[in-house]
């Protein structure tokens, strides 16, 4: 059973290895939502995510014999690093099974703590099944990433910190993968103050907990499809489900496209790198439908590789109309390109790429195609540039940028 005494014990124990992640008030998200929004930046935590809390507390409850057997777990990355770090502190061997799709940065950081990494399967569930097999073969002690009440208790220490710092909090938004973090946070929040609303947030392409609540039983999805790799779980925790059912007030799902613009918002307004799973609670803010409330969004982690960051920034700029591509047809005559460039320059557009296709028509004198990729300040500015091209006699056609 999860109890207040266990949460208090866990808080004291995990404080030995966690870094302080004080709430950050967000003027930007407060203004855009009409609430007072605070961020709990667990992306700044040791190992780059909250998972070190549950892993360390769980391992602290094991006997010396259980630790000496060696520890094994399965994880898409953050729990892997938490277990690897905690095992190193306790002087225990750690074997981590990770999906083959795990970002390289998470694999390398897990290895950096001295753990042995085994890549297996395309999703967490396949990696977990293989980890159980290895545990049986070698006698390792299995540390489940979420379906374990001790792990959930460790994760719940986040709620203790939030409520101590902001006792009048109205809403806590928490990401859900398998449900360990949500279970710990929701249970402790309700034990301390039943009036606090705790809302879980899942990616629309991996909403296993939402489906389980709908069916009133743990439900396995046929597949998952989301850029939020840390929450790409097909089956939520069986041990956790009763707590989720009792203490979680609601679940919101968000699309991957919303995570992309949330990443851009976080970088530009808070200068913080937050991984896609950690951005779930930020993307969910506009779905709450409340105003005048004190809301805490838990940013669960910040372990993201540079290539993924680059891709998300590009897609985010495109979604926000900060980058767009327009196609125009013009005669193949000297000076025509200068005329188009002059229209764009007068409207403060910035050309970042040009493609000139002379073979769009058999009559080059009649028309050649010019594809122009531009930077703009946003949708209004983009529309202004397109309208200016129309007024100048061109027939601009918006097409998807190819960066």
Place of tokens 């379906």: 147
| CA atoms of 95 and 73, how far apart (whole Å) | 7
Count of CB atoms situated within 10 Å of the CB of 309: 15
CB 323 within 8 A of CB 344: no
Catalytic residue among 190, 277, 300, 382: 300
Q: Which of 317, 318, 283 is nearest to 298 (CA)?
A: 283
pLDDT on residue 361:
61
* Rounded alpha-carbon distances, angstroms, from residue 251 to 159, 206, 239, 296, 361: 18, 12, 19, 15, 54
Q: Share the mean pLDDT of the chain.
A: 93
Report the pLDDT value the prediction gives residue 330, as an integer from 0 to 100: 85
pTM: 0.88
Query: From the candidates 6, 51, 58, 197, which is the catalytic residue?
Result: 51
Q: Which stretch of DSSP H or E encloses residue 324?
A: strand 323-330
CA distance 74 to 58: 15
User: Domains plus CATH for the chain?
Assistant: 4-50+149-316 (3.40.50.1100), 52-142 (3.40.50.1100), 321-399 (3.30.70.260)
Helical spans, DSSP H, in 195-252: 208-215, 241-247
Is 51 part of the annotated catalytic residue set?
yes
Name 79's bridge partners: none
pLDDT at 336: 84
Catalytic, 3? Answer no
Average confidence (pLDDT) per 10 residues, the chain, 403 residues: 95 96 98 98 94 96 95 89 94 94 84 94 87 96 94 97 98 96 98 98 97 96 91 93 97 96 95 95 97 98 87 91 92 85 93 81 69 94 95 90 77
Strands 294-299 and 36-41: parallel
Report CA dihedral (346, 348, 352, 355) to the nearest 10 degrees. Answer: -30
Supply the DSSP symbol for 256: H
Q: What is the pLDDT of residue 365?
A: 59
């Amino acid at each position: 059973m999860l109890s207040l005494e266990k949460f208090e014990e866990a808080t004291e124990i995990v404080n030995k290895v966690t870094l302080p992640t004080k709430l950050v008030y967000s003027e930007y998200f407060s203004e855009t939502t009409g609430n007072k929004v605070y961020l709990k930046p667990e992306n700044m935590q040791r190992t780059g995510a909250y998972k070190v809390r549950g892993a360390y507390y769980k391992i602290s409850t094991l006997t010396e014999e259980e630790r000496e057997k060696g520890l094994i777990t399965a994880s898409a990355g953050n729990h892997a690093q938490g277990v690897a770090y905690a095992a190193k502190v306790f002087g225990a061997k750690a074997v981590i099974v990770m999906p083959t799709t795990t970002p390289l940065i998470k694999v390398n950081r897990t290895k950096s703590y001295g753990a042995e990494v085994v890549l297996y399967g395309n999703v967490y569930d396949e990696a977990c099944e293989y980890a159980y097999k290895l545990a049986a073969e070698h006698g390792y002690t299995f540390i489940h990433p979420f379906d374990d009440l001790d792990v959930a208790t460790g994760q719940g220490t986040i709620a203790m910190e939030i409520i101590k710092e902001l006792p009048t909090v109205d809403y806590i938004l928490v990401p859900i993968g398998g449900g360990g973090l949500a279970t710990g946070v929701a249970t402790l929040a309700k034990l301390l103050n039943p009036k606090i609303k705790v809302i879980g947030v899942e990616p629309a392409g991996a909403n296993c907990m939402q489906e389980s609540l709908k069916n009133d039983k743990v439900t396995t999805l046929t597949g998952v499809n989301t850029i939020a790799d840390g929450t790409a779980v097909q089956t939520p925790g069986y041990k956790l489900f009763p707590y989720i059912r009792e203490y979680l007030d609601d679940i919101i799902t968000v699309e991957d496209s919303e995570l992309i613009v949330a990443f851009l918002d976080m970088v530009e307004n808070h200068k913080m790198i937050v991984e896609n799973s950690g951005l779930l609670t930020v993307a969910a803010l506009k779905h709450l439908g409340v105003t005048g409330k004190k809301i805490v969004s838990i940013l669960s982690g910040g372990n993201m590789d540079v290539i993924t960051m680059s891709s998300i920034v590009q897609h985010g700029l495109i979604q926000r109309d900060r980058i767009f591509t327009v196609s125009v047809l013009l005669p193949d005559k000297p000076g025509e390109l200068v005329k188009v460039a002059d229209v764009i320059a007068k409207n403060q557009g910035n050309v970042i790429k040009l493609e000139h296709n002379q073979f769009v028509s058999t009559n080059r004198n009649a028309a050649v195609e010019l594809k122009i990729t531009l930077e703009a300040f946003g949708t209004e500015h983009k529309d202004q540039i397109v309208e200016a091209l129309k007024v100048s006699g061109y027939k601009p056609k918006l097409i998807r940028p190819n960066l």
